[in-house]
Amino acid sequence: MTEVDKYILQFEPPIQSRLKSLRELFFELYPNCVESIRYKIPAYKVGMHYLYFAAYTKHIGFYPVYGLWELEEELSAYRAKGTKDSLHFPHNKPLPIELVRKIIKQKAQLT
């Protein structure tokens, strides 16, 4: 069992399912991406950058999301208040899988 498995298992099954969906998306897009725990949360190295997610009581945080100007209109619906680089995906709404897919792909292309 990996450290990321342990991280996911500490949450209730519905949240585990959401976290697993995000995790699977990274490996779907980048089968050889490096998965680790950094800052006590799951981290994925895509290209030169890391992306992270973390579960909270009311949402999943997704970080850092900056420098993706062409996605800003889509990102704005999820932008955490008072931040430039954090998204919040509320548990009471479906995960925006297609948006996350775009974020991962674009982050992997940034130098």
CA gap 31, 47 in Å, rounded = 12
Fold of 3-109: Aspartate Aminotransferase, domain 1 (3.90.1150)
Cβ atoms within 10 Å of 79's Cβ, excluding its own:
15
Q: What are the structure tokens assigned to 73, written together?
A: 């209109």
Angstrom distances, CA of residue 79 to CA of 65, 72, 111: 9, 9, 23
Task: Give me the pLDDT at residue 36, please.
Answer: 98
This prediction has a pTM of 0.92
Model confidence pLDDT, tens digit, residues 49-108: 999 999 999 999 999 988 888 898 999 999 998 888 999 999 999 999 999 999 999 998
Task: Give me the pLDDT at residue 110, please.
Answer: 75
Task: Give me the pLDDT at residue 75, please.
Answer: 93
Task: Give me the pLDDT at residue 111, please.
Answer: 59
Q: Quick one: pLDDT band at residue 47, thresholds 50, 70, 90? A: confident
